[in-house]
Structure 1
Amino acid sequence: MPRTFEEKLHEYARVLVETGAGLQPGGKLQINAPIEAAPLVREIVQEAYRLGALDVRVDWRDDQLERLRYVEGSREAALFIPDWAMEQAERMVDDGYARIGIRGDDPNLLSGVDGSLIAERTKRGAQLSEKVSAAVSGHLIDWTLGAMSTPAWARSVYPDLPEAEGVARLWEDIFTVSRINEDDPVAAWEAHVDRLARLTAYLNGQQFSAVHIRNAEGTDLTVGLADGHVWDGGALTGPTGNRTVPNMPTDEVFTAPHRDRVSGVAVASKPLSVRGTLISGIRMTFKDGKAVEVSAETGEETLRQLVETDEGASHLGEVALVPASAPVAQTGSLFNMTLFDENAASHIAMGRCYPTNVQGGGDAERLAAAGGNRSLIHVDWMIGSPTSDVDGLTAGGERVPLMRQGEWVVDAAK
């Protein structure tokens, strides 16, 4: 019998808590979610306590309040971030709270707002939250990201549908790509992450010196990989010892580029939604690891501000491979949200690398020596397509086919 919406919502909450965040009896949980997500958050809280959680905290957000800060507030108000807010976040990291983030952003939330002001506040926030960001990127805490269908997000994905229909269709997309429509969602996730584990094991065994990505859209990019790089994907086990799935959905395997060994041209295959702005038609030329030419058809000012955040922002911190047949891609929709769109196409990320993608990367000096990139930002943008071919390049110059026409061709992917 088909599940009702309420039953699917409950299953989604269960998967986020158990499989995503890997919450254990006696654990503590922090949830960050839009106010529209109250029905889902209640299900998450209920599931967490049923599992034996000691404490569950919810940080609500209303994106419209963020816009009002910029539009109605003074410049000082736009840039003000109280120290105690960051101290509280750091204390929760120290206390071992797992985190579940629920996304439902309006991609055009900050349209018309002074981009330089957004950039300045974002940079200040990143500086103040470096400790928390390091804990998340280093998987020193357990965390996962999920999504909530909101009217604003649904309008951007399905602008031709009446609001209620758009919200309902987006919910069905979320359930589909998060494997909630499977007979046993938890078992489906176990099988999926096991397949991704086979892929990462194969890639880690090869220790390619670089990957070469090219497609009909104009990308012809050689991404040199960090020395002692580690491929990850699907489930991760951090210092807590708990198995988690940081992104739901996820269909990527990813690793750290060498900050100085990227060359060629990268052309976006999908728009990027960042800082409340939708950026389309991105094109970057890399030389010796740095983006030396940067352009976009729309949102170019925001893009340039992004790569000028700090010295590391113009270098790469991630390269990820995703098959064109991934569930997000099969929906045929553009979600205008990185959490979803990055799992529809291979992609790269400007800025900070994940320390876990380099052997011994938890040591800052070893990470830097291996070629890992440091930055206040980490922003993914999509370059893959159904025409993409990807080769692994060995230290001796041999080419090993990894993907053809957007699909894996190695046995480990079967």
Structure 2
Amino acid sequence: MLTAKLLEKYADVLLWGLTTSRPNPYEPGDTVLVQYDLAGLKLAEVLFAKLMARGINVVPRLTFTSRMELDFYQLANESQLSFIAPGTKELYENLHGAVHILAPDSLTHLSGIDPKRIAQTAIARKPFRDILVKREEAGQFGWTLCVCPTDEYARCAGLSKKEFTEQIIKACHLRAADPVKEWNRIFAEAMEIKNWLNGLAVVSYHVESAGVDLTVTPGEHRRFKGISGHNIPSFELFLSPDWRGTEGVYFADQPSYRSGNLVKGVRLEFKKGEVVDVKAEQGEEFVKKQVAMDNGSNKLGEFSLTDRRFSKIDKFMANTLFDENFGGEYGNCHVALGSSYSDTFDGDPAQLTEARKAELGFNDSALHWDLVNTENKRVTATLKGGGTLVVYENGQFTC
């Protein structure tokens, strides 16, 4: 349902995201991974040609189909669950960029799989994800990802495929004469807000809504990031807080699909930075297993706010990329359990050792799970030296 013209524009926006996500320009001879689901093949083909025309070496990779993925987790023995294909380390150590095109043919096929089996594979793959993190910290790697419409996405979101596709078109500005120009405008406006936020000396943020009463401590040497080319679309401004300062209750009123499971109404209570109580209207046992995945999965890795003036997304999309960027009437706040983003360090992330990350309260985990609240909310900053400032209200930043 994306026409040839729209696919061309979509690929141009992905190129904008890929190049914007890396501080150093791409050069002929660089290597970029293009990973795609089968239903995303048409977009992958258009993007492949554009990258090749720039002299980029493209590594195309088709992901597991849902049948393959289900068979993998049903049939794999202990060794197979942790298997890493030969050459993976060498590939990751030499990648300069990656684009992921999400177009799954099923979101629920893993619902009967023990989450511990999925977690075992995620933990085995984490060292290779860490390679890319290190390369990104050094300015050698950039990435972006996007969504293509599928019948399954539309079904799980409760939309027609036409409605689902329209959300993508609106959110990515694909009907604009020059979508890249629109993204550059959004990038510039977001930079002004980030500069304002990063200029504040903040001790903590207090998030209040009908279901949320949460204090988040940004910690030392932090900066807000966002709208940086990572993810298309992306309108969130976020930081990775000092997990040790998280206190109170967070409620995700937006549903979430993860590992084939639909969860609704997740309520998390934090004390001294750790989740001490988990409740959910649906999928509670699954959430508890995710929280217990490893030593960092019960702690915060991200705190994020989306301004409704940026985002045109106003429907649940059954995909975290879109749902964490929900605009609607009141924007959204989301937190992520698990791994943190080292690029929210206000210095050179490449200089961050594991010991320094731990000292600053950057969380480490094989999990990174975004949970979204779309209620009307107020976010109040407590400032160093005394005083408070409302930084977000009625779905938008107050600057």
TM-superposed deviation, 1:74: 4.5
Residue 5 of structure 1: which of 3, 6, 26 is its match? Answer: 3
Would the alpha carbon gap of residues 307 and 136 (structure 1) be closer, same or farther in structure 2, given more than 3 Å must change? farther
- Structure 1: runs of 5+ lacking an equivalent: 236-244
CA distance in 2 between partners of 1:147 and 1:402 (Å): 31
1:25 CA displacement: 4.4
1:69 is matched with 72
Structure 1 counterpart of 2:103, one-letter code: G
Aligned-residue CA RMSD in angstroms? 2.2
SS of 2:247's partner is strand
Q: Give 5+ residue unaligned stretches, structure 2.
A: 327-331
- The answer as to whether partners of 1:358 and 1:372 remain within 8 angstroms in 2 is no
Q: 1:110 to 1:139 in 2, by over 3 A?
A: farther
Q: Higher mean Cα deviation, 169-178 or 138-147?
A: 138-147
The residue correspondences of 1:76-91 to structure 2 (distance < 5 A) are 76=78, 79-84=81-86, 87-88=87-88, 90-91=89-90
What is the distance in 2 between the residues matched to 1:20 and 1:293? 39
Question: Given residue 46 of structure 2, which amino acid in structure 1 is its aligned partner?
Answer: E
Out of 280, 283, 291, the residue aligned to residue 267 of structure 2 is 283
Deviation at 1:35, TM superposition (A): 1.1
**Aligned-residue offset at 1:115:** 2.7
Identity %: 24
Aligned-partner Cα distance in 2 for 1:282–1:306? 12
Cross-structure match for 2:302: 318
CA contact (8 A) 1:107 1:337 kept: no
Answer yes or no: is the 8 Å Cα contact 2:17–2:231 preserved in 1. no
Shift of 1:185: 0.4
CA distance in 2, matches of 1:389, 1:404: 5
Report the AA paired with residue 57 of structure 2. Answer: D
Q: Which residue number corresponds to residue 339 of structure 1?
A: 321
C-alpha distance in 2, partners of 1:259/1:401? 22
> Is this contact kept in 1: 2:255–2:265, CA < 8 A?
yes
Structure 1 match to 2:119: 119
Of the structure 1 ranges 114-123 and 305-314, higher mean CA displacement relative to structure 2 is found in 114-123
CA distance in 1, matches of 2:137, 2:277: 28
Matched, 1:380 2:355: no
Q: In structure 1, how many angstroms separate the alpha carbons of the residues matched to 2:270 and 2:219?
A: 16
* Secondary structure class of the residue paired with 2:246: strand
* Partners of 2:19 and 2:296 in 1: CA distance: 30
User: Deviations for 1:196-246, whole angstroms, at most 9, x for unmatched residues?
Assistant: 111111111103111111112x101010112111111112xxxxxxxxx01
In structure 2, what is the equivalent of residue 40 of structure 1? 43
Which residue is equivalent to 1:299? Answer: 283
Pairwise CA distance, 1:53: 2.4
Query: Is the 2:380–2:390 Cα contact (8 Å) retained in structure 1?
Result: yes
- Amino acid of the structure 1 residue aligned with 2:333: S
Residues 229-308 of structure 1 aligned to structure 2 (within 5 Å): 229-235=222-228, 245-308=229-292
Distance 1:94 1:292, change over 3 A: same
- SS of the aligned residue for 1:253 comes to strand
What SS does the corresponding residue of 1:53 show, helix, strand or coil?
Answer: coil
User: What is the count of residue pairs matched by the alignment?
Assistant: 384
Deviation at 1:9, TM superposition (A): 0.8
TM norm structure 1: 0.86
Report the residue type matching 1:402 in the other structure: V
After the TM superposition, list the runs of 4 or more consecutive aligned residues in structure 1 that deviate by more than 3 angstroms: 18-25, 74-78, 127-130, 132-140
Q: Paired residue for 2:383, among 390, 394, 401?
A: 394
| TM-score, normalization by structure 2 | 0.90
Amino acid at match of 2:156: S
SS of residue matched to 1:313: coil
Q: 1:368 aligns with which of 333, 347, 358?
A: 358
For residues 78 and 301 of structure 1, what CA distance do their matches in structure 2 show? 26
Q: 1:19-60 CA distances to partner (integer Å, 9 max, x unpaired)? A: 43457340322101001111111100111122x123111110
1:116-157 residue CA offsets vs partner (Å, 9 max, x unmatched): 322333333335543235545776411111111122222212
> Quick one: structure 1 residues 139 and 255, their matched pair in 2 at CA, closer, same or farther if it must change by over 3 Å?
farther
Match runs of 1:207-222 below 5 Å: 207-216=201-210, 218-222=211-215
Question: What CA distance in whole angstroms lies between the structure 1 residues aligned with 2:130 and 2:207?
Answer: 32
User: Following TM superposition, by how much is the alpha carbon of 1:113 offset from its aligned partner in structure 2, in angstroms?
Assistant: 2.2
8 Å Cα contact 2:18-2:143 kept in structure 1: yes
The alpha-carbon distance between structure 1 residues 358 and 97, as it changes in their structure 2 partners (threshold 3 A), is closer
Deviation at 1:11, TM superposition (A): 0.7
* 3-state DSSP of counterpart to 2:234: coil
Give the equivalent residue in structure 2 for 1:239: none
CA distance in 2, matches of 1:137, 1:301: 36
Aligned: 1:103 with 2:96: no
